[in-house]
A and B are shown apart, each in its own frame.
Chain A
Amino acid sequence: MMKFEYAPAPESRAIVDIAPSYGLFLDGTFTEPSDGGVFKTVNPASEEVLAEVASAGARDVDHAVAAARRAFEPWSALPGPERAKYLFRIARIVQERSRELAVLESLDNGKPIRESRDVDLPLAAAHFFYYAGWADKLGYAGFGPDPRPLGVAAQVIPWNFPMLMLAWKIAPALACGNTVVLKPAETTPLSALFFADICRQADLPPGVVNIITGAGDTGRLLVEHPDVDKVAFTGSTEVGRQIAQAVSGSRKRVTLELGGKAANIVFDDAPIDQAVEGIVNGIFFNQGHVCCAGSRLLVQESVAEELMAALKRRMAHLRVGDPLDKNTDIGAINSAAQLARIRELSDAGAAEGAEAWSPPCELPDRGFWFAPTVFTGVSQAHRIAREEIFGPVLSVLTFRTPAEAVEKANNTPYGLSAGVWTEKGSRILWMAERLRAGVIWANTFNKFDPSSPFGGYKESGFGREGGRQGLEPYVDLEPVRGKAT
């Protein structure tokens, strides 16, 4: 019997050229921050500093919004086919530079190169292609014969899928004729800064896209800026609430895509091996840093033992390690802060009486790491069943009947996603009808497509991204809905 060890298979870093420092991308050029200062972004797998990035202050945010405002009239006046062709250019360049951007994303975020290469970048490019194709046919989108844009969009994105979240925000906004000011997360600013360069390569008119880096304060300043017409935020429910409060009373249109605590429901007739893959993908893909992660496994009691055995056997094959190794399945936790949060909740799980299990794995000594973990004996009241952990930690609960599964799955303030595993088609549809979640995956999980609308119910936010519905947040609805009182 041979033990098949995989030798290191590192993706080369040479393809990406990270500058020592970056300014803010305003009005088509990089400029130094006027009053905000700088901060560093690190590689979470090694704690190595990657670059120094600007922190945008109030004056910088002003400049950015003013640049977007100036660019808005000519940009929105462009005929649809011309805007479409700019977006097609951008999509093509993202495709051409995919490998470079994937390596960059893995360095800055900590996610495995296999995922940034095979998931993040292809989806990001596809998202630009999809919305490019709407720019010249908005009259067919169901918002009236000539939908008009809103103006300047303030967009704040999270650190878990930096490039992809950027695509989800910028593509529909531009397709509809808006201009944007986008702030990437403070731990993952680099792919947005490289995207600025792509805008330059596409000859996008200056000011249509502006990238300002910074932390929570920068985001707050941007969202609260009086000359912003639209706010789009993806991130934690906590910050989402703050934003909702900050824009109350203004006429700004808002969409929020927030947290989740999705139930992944496995029935006794599920295709077991594929269900195990779906569970693993659901919670360990991207280190569990996924708003729609299947973080609660609801397994029908009659197959619970068999499923858990299969799941643990499968988890033993997960490879945790260097994000740039092509064989890595689970990369680094994005930051020290996030690691602390995961540890806190994991400790709470054990303290509250749930039983933790992790496959043996060797964690590197530098960087931020957490072994994939599954908790059994979890009840609905436990913190690890209610609070979003945002890490590679799965909580397992059982149920007896479909009705009970629905009840438990819905018993949460969140409502972003859910998974259903069963061979019976009618049951899939019955469950889908009753689960209060914006995205339901049946016999699969974590599947995304630019044509497929994504977004949450309840405290997971409101508004949809992707598909025809994804245009709605970026067009003026007065012609179809009448003036708001």
Chain B
Amino acid sequence: MTATVASSPPGVSGSAVDLRSLLHGLPGVDKVGVEGRAAALSTRSIKTTAKAAAIDLAIRMVDLTTLEGADTPGKVRALSAKALRPDPADPNCPPVAAVCVYPSMVPVAAEVLKGSGVHLASVATAFPSGQAPLDVKLADTRDAVAAGADEIDMVISRGSFLAGRYDDVFAEIVAVKEACGDAHLKVILETGELGTYDNVRRASWLAMLAGADFIKTSTGKVPVAATLPVTLVMLEAVRDFRARTGRQVGVKPAGGIRTTKDAIRYLVLINETVGDDWLDPDWFRFGASSLLNDLLMQRTKLTTGHYAGPDYFTLD
């Protein structure tokens, strides 16, 4: 089974790529080993100045997210305001990286975020299931970009991937990337449905070869979302991909990251796997909602010396 890389994504030479051989030829991942490494890195103790710097970086990396059926313009306006100014009591608190919403809410968010530098990410391609015809998914994407989104979070077809139809998954990503125009494309692998770390590595490479700017773990809508070991495998993949092709791709764990402690563990993971180049909101994001308030509370504790309470931070 071969798929000619017709549009030659950056970093891959124009020759025909036998996707299946490439993906199945990647080194395997030992589950016990990778989980052990993630657990060992979780024992790093990040205190005082290191913790303060990590918290600020984590805040700057948050894609503040609301993806509920019950979302309204009011809710999205409030969330966007919070994205610009997370801590009502401290203007020095940095803004987050982006707001992440459904396409229908993009115009609302765009109005609030205009000119601020905070990005506007929209999910698209029949998020979260991805179960829709391709032309519907592409229209979804184009509309979101036209309405003001500068980042698109798409979902891959997990059914096709697990059935081994890698070319179909590849072609879809290429098409969506084209529909994005200038917008950045994050490809959601839905790692909780892929079953093995080997599959996570393969899906990561597939997405990157097809042109993803970011690879993202989860929609947040299935029971198993981002974990440290899964993110570790994806970080190794982006590291190896850059070594092979020269192109840097970002990583976004999403779902289930609720506490500052969790967030700092991810930063340690980046630091000791791929290094400084990814310790930047341009190359790493947290897909989260309640994480932000915990980061703010921890930030306040470091500056004031006392433990904060939830009443002092906005619930949006």
Contact = CB atoms under 8 A, between A and B. Distances in A.
Interface of A: 1-9, 114, 118, 269-274, 277-278, 317, 326-327, 423, 443-444
B43 interface: yes
Contact of A317 (B46, B50, B272, B279): B272
A4 B236 contact: no
A277 B277 CA distance: 22
Interface stretch (B30-38, B79-87, B255-263): B30-38
B222 interface: no
Contact of B53 (A4, A271, A274, A317): A4
A211 B222 CA distance: 58
B132 interface: no
Interface in B14-60: 27-30, 32-34, 36-37, 43-51, 53-54, 57
Given A2-B57, A444-B33, A326 B43 contact: yes
A314 to B, nearest CB: 9
B29 A2 contact: no
B27 A9 contact: no
28 contacts: A1-B276, A1-B280, A4-B53, A4-B57, A4-B267, A4-B279, A6-B50, A7-B50, A7-B51, A8-B47, A269-B27, A271-B27, A271-B29, A271-B30, A272-B27, A273-B34, A274-B29, A274-B33, A274-B37, A277-B36, A277-B37, A278-B33, A317-B272, A326-B43, A326-B45, A443-B30, A443-B33, A444-B33
Given A273-B29, A274-B37, A2 B279 contact: yes
Nearest to B56: A2
Contacts of A9: 45-47
Contacts of A444: 32-33
Contacts of A317: 272
Q: List 8 tightest A-B contacts by C-beta distance, closest first.
A: A274-B33, A9-B45, A7-B50, A326-B45, A274-B30, A271-B30, A4-B271, A272-B27
A423 B33 CA distance: 13
A423 B27 CA distance: 9
B44 A327 contact: yes
Contacts of B272: 317
A365 to B, nearest CB: 24
Contact of A7 (B27, B32, B49): B49
Contacts of B53: 2, 4-5
A272 B26 CA distance: 10
B158 to A, nearest CB: 24
Given A7-B46, A271-B29, 6 more contacts: A4-B57, A6-B44, A271-B27, A273-B33, A317-B272, A326-B45
A164 B153 CA distance: 51
Contact of B34 (A2, A6, A274): A274
A270 B57 CA distance: 36
A6 B29 contact: no
A426 to B, nearest CB: 15
B46 A6 contact: yes
A270 B27 CA distance: 7
A1 B50 contact: no
A55 to B, nearest CB: 38
Contacts of B48: 7-8
Contacts of A270: 27
A106 to B, nearest CB: 14
A448 to B, nearest CB: 14
Nearest to B57: A2
B17 to A, nearest CB: 20
Contacts of B51: 7
A7 B33 contact: no
A286 to B, nearest CB: 14
B46 A1 contact: no
Given A118-B43, A317-B272, A326-B45, A4 B54 contact: yes
A272 B36 CA distance: 15
Contacts of B49: 5, 7
Interface in B118-151: none
A423 B28 contact: yes
Given A273-B34, A327-B44, A4 B50 contact: yes
Contacts of A1: 276-277, 279-280
Of the candidates A2, A271, A327, A444, the one having the most CB atoms from chain B within 10 angstroms of its own CB is A2
Contacts of B57: 2, 4
A327 B46 CA distance: 8
Interface in B250-294: 267-268, 270-272, 276-277, 279-280
Given A2-B53, A317-B272, A271 B267 contact: no
A195 to B, nearest CB: 26
A2 B280 CA distance: 7
B30 A7 contact: no
A444 B279 CA distance: 30
A272 B27 CA distance: 6
Contacts of B277: 1
B43 A114 contact: yes
Contacts of B236: 273
Contacts of A278: 33
B299 to A, nearest CB: 16
Given A9-B45, A9-B47, A271-B28, A4 B276 contact: yes
Nearest to B25: A269
Given A5-B50, A278-B33, A327-B45, A273 B27 contact: yes
Contacts of A327: 44-45
A363 B57 CA distance: 30
Contacts of A326: 43-45
Contacts of B54: 4
Contacts of A114: 43
Interface in B197-230: none
Contacts of A5: 49-50, 53
A5 B37 CA distance: 20
B275 to A, nearest CB: 9
A7 B44 CA distance: 11
A8 B37 CA distance: 22
A2 B36 CA distance: 26
Of the candidates A271, A423, A443, the one having the most CB atoms from chain B within 10 angstroms of its own CB is A271
